[in-house]
A and B are shown apart, each in its own frame.
Chain A
């Protein structure tokens, strides 16, 4: 029985360093290749030694697919391809291909230049790695090789995020990456057709959350920012340069416009302008409204949002600063946080999920004293707010996607075990399908039961459809007969006669002639007539003929009568039939041996 194996190397009952191995129909595919924000050691990257202990991965993988540009989905890519070694194709969408190397370079700079780590990938490695990337278009069917095909679907979440459908023969898997089922201010909602995969591998970041309406959350967010500004506080919003940042920028920009606010809004890092440029060039990946109006007004040209300079952090008066990275684990957002943390007028708004081990995660859990590097501690006095703006599907969204795709099995990754457990129960109950949630390094196996595609000769099919009528009777199914010819990789179903012809075989006729002795005191023709009448009454629905040459034919079985030379009352019947009529022939010989009923 064919089976599909799914092994997470990362993101199994965890969020971070997404990396999932799928083997399907003899092909091995790596889905995402991310890093873990919560670790600074070996655990930062997936454990590729699971695939092979020594040497390169090229011969073990048919392809690598990256779902989107977030580092927890692509951060380990140059390490995997250049340091461990992989030369096969890496698939990602155009926006991901454009933005991913910039974030990787950023990540490298922070790790190597700032923290001084060695044994890390270099700028050149990022470039070499990106040369192996093959861009994917939405809905395009890409033939990785003769048997393996992949197709990308829109996933929302961030610019260029994609879900992938992976198909080998009639077996298939869908991997969602991160996705969002509700359209937001700059992106559309994820969509997939009813592709009925054998397994749907879904993220489950918000497995237990059912979020209130987005409008409420937005209003809440604006209210909090506004209040803080009013009382002269500073608002820090840690974000990743691309993604939620643009969403919140659009939100604040329109609010500032409407309320005629004057407090400055800054966006940290030089990436802003570049980031917005990407959004303009990849406008076809944003939502319908932005796409429709971009010629008149480009939503990514902000009037109120200015680039941030390090010195501004000490400026007096209120301000709003978007700073990277989003989980307060390094870089500018952390620096500003340290500066502002002591003042209770200030506020930090965490707009997304924070991985365990990051400062973001700690303060969200209410920690008020933070141990910093060099044994110093930091008192957190500023207000800490959490608003889920990360564009992940919530429980409702996940269920909605299952309804869309109608998978035969479900597999959860990219979430916390306890929450997954809860969702798993709900899925199994509502859809009556199996739901798996393997931990890292654990393999989930699903056996599939694929139909076998066969080429049927049109003659045979048409004959059968004509006989069966347009609507076959479900109570009396018609049985169709044919011969399946298996030659190399082709399977052809033809009529038996055709099969003989196609294979250049002669037909071998097997015939039987049976002598049956019968006591019947009549003339030969009369006996024959009596046999005819008898068979007519017993065999309903058969073609029975009394032919002028002195034979009776039942279908193609020939019956002749002659008298015994010794006793004219003893008749010798000769029944002759071919192997194709074996059942009927055997039945007739047994029947006639019992004699004819006297009532004839």
Chain B
């Protein structure tokens, strides 16, 4: 069993597992942190951005002023933002049989994998994952396509040139694999390959392997996966949460007894408590509004935003924010809010029971009904005429490089009464803000990451006891910025097997058994005999049939009756057809009991002689010797076939047959 690791990002994984002749891709994460190296894409012309100076190396030898711009001491690529794709050269992607998606954040690279690579397999995901994943992709494509940028910068990627660039561009990895966003057509084609599955549904792959998604508690429809045969079990844990937010709680017990547990998607903010962050978020929001400022919340259009809105629903009245408008701006804002209300089966118990009343599970329905929350597809259109300040705006993209958020940064950035509150943990807020410096706006960093922290994961692993754990190398050492915090890493016995981008791991387990089915006819013909208390054995002779990776054992067909031979006299000379070979024997022949049996069969003249290893029985009448020893019996006789077979059968009575 092998694991190919195509992504180095621990929370946006992409691994390929080869197991029992199936090739299974686990998640398809798209590393979007690469876009931080690009200039923001403004929705309306920004004089500030367009006037940024081009970059020329200090000695003047390298001139990339068309491609690179300098802003507040940092260099940015002036081109359509690009993403860092999973590795595509490590193995032939057309050989992938299935792709398992664990949550909607981990599928954003799907079109790059399923389109133009010869992929012909099936993608498995839950319904919320598919629907919300589609929204997030649609949003991404929309953000990119509505501000088309013809320029595509490539010169800076030249190794010789990149070496000379200032940080962080100099250290950017795999820049040649960076790609622009896909098109909606590619998204639709990729998503048409998705087959929906429900939690705990068992799906057979080629009869060899069974896969099953389990609730992971992180987001709507998020799942961990069990990949197992009758005797081996691999658990894939990705983006799980034990906190009580809106999704169905994590199914932990089904992860028990794994041979290998692949662990990805732990929290990116191991030291930030989500509840504390939520409180800070509310306080800062209220403070800014009271002071007459606006609040900007860059966020994804699904996920934590549902919890933020729910938190605000309870907070608004107590904080006297009843008249403050809340805006949610995204091309998929409406869809995201609507979809969140129809997945009752995938929600936590509290929300589920609301649906039985029947009431919408999320309180944002009420916020919308009472006009406290308004949603718009973009800043253009209705929004521009209905927009009142001071207000709170939720909008994307959290990288601040594209989407409507860019507009609000330009609009509100210069005033210190406004506040930007970061809640998404995927991007460093300092890097995100870099192209907007100098900035007067207040910045608050309240990253909310509900995924497992090291303490929780240690407890979980102790509970489910996998034989081996495989994880990204980042989890096997403390984070670089907090190298003294040995509590921020995985410490296990045996130590976890670390992987990094492009690793190929041989997973340490041996398969020893396979399932085979004995057909009823054969099963009925077996004769078990008890060999030790509670243990029986039966010898089996059967014909093996293997089809679609399923094995069955049938009775040996009876040979067709031999046609009457003309050369009758020669019949005796036909060598015996090899029938079932004789079983192996075990046990010992007890002397006294054996003598008694001989006597019963009329063999009375027996002379017993003791030897070093046992006894020799001399059947004087027939000049036959029987040598009885602990682990062997030897019958020496003249060619007296009837006697020999009698003795043989008598000896066999005392032995066990295997």
Using a CB–CB cutoff of 8 Å, the interface residues on chain A facing chain B are: 94, 97-98, 101, 135, 137-142, 151, 274, 277-278, 280-284, 294-295, 449-458, 461, 464-465, 468, 472, 477-488, 492-493, 496-497, 499-500, 503, 505-517, 538-540, 542, 579-584, 586-587, 589-591, 593
Contact A582 B582 (CB under 8 A): yes
Q: Which 8 A-B pairs have the closest CB atoms?
A: A509-B632, A451-B517, A505-B586, A455-B513, A477-B543, A98-B356, A496-B584, A513-B636
Contact B342 A281 (CB under 8 A): yes
| Alpha-carbon gap, A497 to B584, bound state (A) | 7
Specify which chain B residues have a CB less than 8 angstroms from the CB of A503 in the assembled complex.
Answer: 531-532, 535, 537, 658
Those of B623-658 within 8 Å (CB) of chain A: 630-639, 641, 644-645, 648, 651-652, 655-656, 658
Contact B201 A141 (CB under 8 A): yes
Name A505's closest neighbour in chain B (CB-CB).
B586
- Does B174 sit within 8 A of A, measured CB to CB? no
Main DSSP-derived SS at the B contact region = mixed
In the complex, 23 of the A-B residue pairs with CB atoms within 8 angstroms, ordered by the A residue number, are A98-B356, A135-B345, A141-B200, A151-B201, A295-B335, A295-B338, A454-B516, A454-B517, A454-B553, A461-B516, A479-B543, A480-B541, A480-B553, A481-B540, A487-B534, A503-B532, A508-B588, A508-B655, A510-B585, A511-B635, A512-B636, A538-B573, A589-B641
| Alpha-carbon gap, A484 to B546, bound state (A) | 19
- Additional 7 contacts, C-beta under 8 A, given A586-B644, A586-B645, A589-B639: A140-B198, A452-B523, A455-B230, A455-B513, A456-B514, A481-B541, A488-B534
Using a CB–CB cutoff of 8 Å, the interface residues on chain B facing chain A are: 127, 197-202, 212, 230-231, 334-335, 338-339, 341-345, 352, 355-356, 358, 360-361, 511-520, 523, 526, 528, 531-532, 534-546, 551-553, 556-557, 572-573, 575-576, 578-589, 630-639, 641, 644-645, 648, 651-652, 655-656, 658
Known contacts A488-B534, A586-B641, A458 near B201 by CB under 8 Å: no
Contact A98 B514 (CB under 8 A): no
| Alpha-carbon gap, A287 to B65, bound state (A) | 56
Specify which chain A residues have a CB less than 8 angstroms from the CB of B535 in the assembled complex.
Answer: 485-487, 503
Main DSSP-derived SS at the A contact region = mixed
Contact A141 B202 (CB under 8 A): yes
Contact A584 B576 (CB under 8 A): yes
Specify which chain B residues have a CB less than 8 angstroms from the CB of A582 in the assembled complex.
Answer: 582, 648
Specify which chain B residues have a CB less than 8 angstroms from the CB of A580 in the assembled complex.
Answer: 581-582, 584
A97, A280, A539: the one contacting B575 at CB < 8 Å is A539
Contact B358 A277 (CB under 8 A): yes
Specify which chain B residues have a CB less than 8 angstroms from the CB of A493 in the assembled complex.
Answer: 516, 540, 553
Specify which chain B residues have a CB less than 8 angstroms from the CB of A587 in the assembled complex.
Answer: 575-576
What's the least CB distance linking A498 to chain B, in Å? Answer: 10
What's the least CB distance linking A474 to chain B, in Å? Answer: 10
What's the least CB distance linking A572 to chain B, in Å? Answer: 10
What's the least CB distance linking B360 to chain A, in Å? Answer: 7
A94, A461, A483, A508: the one contacting B514 at CB < 8 Å is A461
| Alpha-carbon gap, A483 to B531, bound state (A) | 12
Contact B334 A542 (CB under 8 A): no
Name A586's closest neighbour in chain B (CB-CB).
B641
Contact A139 B197 (CB under 8 A): yes
Specify which chain B residues have a CB less than 8 angstroms from the CB of A456 in the assembled complex.
Answer: 513-516, 551
Contact A512 B648 (CB under 8 A): yes
Specify which chain B residues have a CB less than 8 angstroms from the CB of A472 in the assembled complex.
Answer: 543-545
| Alpha-carbon gap, A452 to B212, bound state (A) | 24
Known contacts A479-B580, A484-B526, A515 near B345 by CB under 8 Å: no
Contact A507 B528 (CB under 8 A): no
| Alpha-carbon gap, A512 to B539, bound state (A) | 23
| Alpha-carbon gap, A477 to B544, bound state (A) | 8
Name B357's closest neighbour in chain A (CB-CB).
A98
Contact A98 B631 (CB under 8 A): no
Name B631's closest neighbour in chain A (CB-CB).
A506
Specify which chain A residues have a CB less than 8 angstroms from the CB of B585 in the assembled complex.
Answer: 507-510, 579
Known contacts A281-B360, A492-B513, A583-B579, A94 near B634 by CB under 8 Å: no
What's the least CB distance linking A153 to chain B, in Å? Answer: 11
Name B585's closest neighbour in chain A (CB-CB).
A508
Name A98's closest neighbour in chain B (CB-CB).
B356
Known contacts A484-B537, A506-B631, A517 near B639 by CB under 8 Å: yes
| Alpha-carbon gap, A350 to B338, bound state (A) | 36
Specify which chain B residues have a CB less than 8 angstroms from the CB of A517 in the assembled complex.
Answer: 638-639
What's the least CB distance linking B214 to chain A, in Å? Answer: 11
Contact B512 A483 (CB under 8 A): no
| Alpha-carbon gap, A515 to B639, bound state (A) | 5
Name A1's closest neighbour in chain B (CB-CB).
B520
Name B530's closest neighbour in chain A (CB-CB).
A486
B212, B231, B334, B541: the one contacting A455 at CB < 8 Å is B231
Known contacts A464-B544, A483-B583, A579-B582, A94 near B518 by CB under 8 Å: no
Specify which chain A residues have a CB less than 8 angstroms from the CB of B514 in the assembled complex.
Answer: 455-456, 458, 461
| Alpha-carbon gap, A464 to B356, bound state (A) | 57
B341, B518, B637: the one contacting A281 at CB < 8 Å is B341
What's the least CB distance linking A9 to chain B, in Å? Answer: 28
| Alpha-carbon gap, A511 to B636, bound state (A) | 8
| Alpha-carbon gap, A174 to B535, bound state (A) | 36
Specify which chain B residues have a CB less than 8 angstroms from the CB of A455 in the assembled complex.
Answer: 230-231, 513-516
Contact A451 B519 (CB under 8 A): yes
Known contacts A295-B335, A500-B658, A138 near B540 by CB under 8 Å: no
Contact B199 A140 (CB under 8 A): yes
B536, B586, B636, B637: the one contacting A506 at CB < 8 Å is B586
Name A590's closest neighbour in chain B (CB-CB).
B641
Contact A137 B199 (CB under 8 A): yes
Known contacts A94-B345, A141-B202, A513-B634, A294 near B338 by CB under 8 Å: yes
Specify which chain B residues have a CB less than 8 angstroms from the CB of A94 in the assembled complex.
Answer: 344-345, 352, 355
Name A284's closest neighbour in chain B (CB-CB).
B342
B515, B576, B630: the one contacting A454 at CB < 8 Å is B515
What's the least CB distance linking B325 to chain A, in Å? Answer: 23
A451, A477, A482, A505: the one contacting B531 at CB < 8 Å is A505
Contact B632 A450 (CB under 8 A): no
Q: Looking at A138, A481, A584, which has the most chain B CB atoms within 10 Å of its CB?
A: A481
Specify which chain B residues have a CB less than 8 angstroms from the CB of A457 in the assembled complex.
Answer: 512-513
Name B335's closest neighbour in chain A (CB-CB).
A295
Specify which chain B residues have a CB less than 8 angstroms from the CB of A497 in the assembled complex.
Answer: 584
What's the least CB distance linking A295 to chain B, in Å? Answer: 5
Known contacts A453-B515, A508-B586, A274 near B655 by CB under 8 Å: no
Known contacts A485-B535, A510-B585, A465 near B345 by CB under 8 Å: no
A454, A496, A511, A538: the one contacting B633 at CB < 8 Å is A511
Contact A458 B639 (CB under 8 A): no
Specify which chain B residues have a CB less than 8 angstroms from the CB of A458 in the assembled complex.
Answer: 511-514
| Alpha-carbon gap, A468 to B544, bound state (A) | 9
| Alpha-carbon gap, A461 to B511, bound state (A) | 12
B537, B541, B634: the one contacting A499 at CB < 8 Å is B537
Specify which chain B residues have a CB less than 8 angstroms from the CB of A452 in the assembled complex.
Answer: 517-518, 520, 523
Name A539's closest neighbour in chain B (CB-CB).
B575
| Alpha-carbon gap, A284 to B538, bound state (A) | 53
Specify which chain B residues have a CB less than 8 angstroms from the CB of A488 in the assembled complex.
Answer: 534
Contact B358 A278 (CB under 8 A): yes
A507, A516, A542: the one contacting B586 at CB < 8 Å is A507
Specify which chain B residues have a CB less than 8 angstroms from the CB of A510 in the assembled complex.
Answer: 585, 632-635, 648, 651-652, 655
What's the least CB distance linking A479 to chain B, in Å? Answer: 5
| Alpha-carbon gap, A278 to B356, bound state (A) | 8
What's the least CB distance linking B629 to chain A, in Å? Answer: 9
Specify which chain A residues have a CB less than 8 angstroms from the CB of B544 in the assembled complex.
Answer: 461, 464-465, 468, 472, 478, 480
Contact B543 A483 (CB under 8 A): no
What's the least CB distance linking B192 to chain A, in Å? Answer: 14
Specify which chain A residues have a CB less than 8 angstroms from the CB of B200 in the assembled complex.
Answer: 137, 140-142
Name B204's closest neighbour in chain A (CB-CB).
A193
Specify which chain A residues have a CB less than 8 angstroms from the CB of B539 in the assembled complex.
Answer: 481-484, 496
Specify which chain B residues have a CB less than 8 angstroms from the CB of A583 in the assembled complex.
Answer: 576, 578-579, 582
Specify which chain B residues have a CB less than 8 angstroms from the CB of A283 in the assembled complex.
Answer: 342
